[in-house]
Amino acid sequence: MTSALGLKTTRLTAPKFGGLLLWLATAFPLLLVIALIVTVLASSPARAEDAADSCGGKNLMAELQKTDAAKYAAVMAEGDKVANGKGIFWKIEKPGLQPSWLLGTMHVSDTRVTTMPKGAAEASAAADTIVVESDEILDDKKAAAALFVNPSLTMLSDGSTISQHLSPQDNARLEAALAARGIPLAAVSRMQPWLISSSFQMTGCEVRRKTAGVKFLDQKLAADAAAAGKQVKGLETLAEQAKAMSGLPIELHLKSLMQTLELGDGINDINETMTDLYLAGNIGAIMPMLKNNEPDQKLSDADTAAFEQRIILDRNKIMAERSLPILAKGNAFIAVGALHLVGDEGLVALLRKQGFTVTAVN
């Protein structure tokens, strides 16, 4: 599993990790799950863990520090190698322009995350323009409707079902896992496997909060800005995001789906650990932590290289290019998934190449 994430030393300056790890760390599909999957989950019977006040996860790094101090140190050292891996809130400056701001986010509604770091709330309130990955998140129903106009982005376009792409054993595992969430296989049988995977990557408490209408960080920023009469702009459309995922080989998604099922309830611990590292501003350590806790690797080097290129690096370039005319006006506040900030080809590095001075605020 040395390259499941495809995070090469020439890119994120860290060892290659698993594709599932990159998926979990970016939480990219969750933007679409809000519009597409949550409605399915919301109609299913509530489970005991869904009704709990917290996700019940534990910090895996805190446990590792107690049980294996040497391995803990090694994981943290790997994180230290990641370029621009420290800090989630950045100031963007260029002579002659009002400063702008860049916030790395998690696409979750946890109040620990939606309470932004010192200075970020003030900067967003004072900004002329709020920029998020997609401004379509302001209206979930409208976003879902727009995606369903082109079923090839979210559904198996050849008329097949997910069961036809799985072995009988794997299909039984999927059916049992869905049943545990109160979802019949038939309800999602024609969805693309990456969407089904996403439903398992969302913790029970996150599903509960989202179905109750609690906004995740990016969505809250956009909604508050719109309510205040500010400009809200997106760097991508949800259709572009879906196209990036659906354009990858189905075999890759099927492997990731089964790997996600192997993780099981461990997603709660992973989520809690990622949240703690995020709150500490130690984004660079998220990938090494995930590597240390990933299920058995199922993806090839070619799989993971394609995943990294399409889902992270290509999108980083698009985000950087589309942010330039906005930054040229000054006083903008940009909020995108935290993993898009880090590495030699992350937004921080790309904006610096465009002549901006980008410094961590905290």
Residue 261 has a pLDDT of 86
8 domain-assigned: no
7 domain-assigned: no
31 domain-assigned: yes
Residue 29 has a pLDDT of 41
Residue 172 has a pLDDT of 97
Residue 333 has a pLDDT of 98
Residue 306 has a pLDDT of 77
311 domain-assigned: yes
4 domain-assigned: no
122 domain-assigned: yes
Q: Which domain holds residue 345?
A: 19-360
**136, 234 contact by CB (below 8 A):** yes
98 domain-assigned: yes
How does pLDDT run across 305-333, given as a tens digit for each residue? Answer: 777 788 888 999 999 999 999 999 999 99
The structure's pTM equals 0.86
Residue 362 has a pLDDT of 75
Residue 200 has a pLDDT of 79
153 domain-assigned: yes
Residue 5 has a pLDDT of 30
Residues in the chain with pLDDT < 70?
1-54, 294-301
How many domains does the chain contain in total?
1
Residue 225 has a pLDDT of 96
Residue 196 has a pLDDT of 86
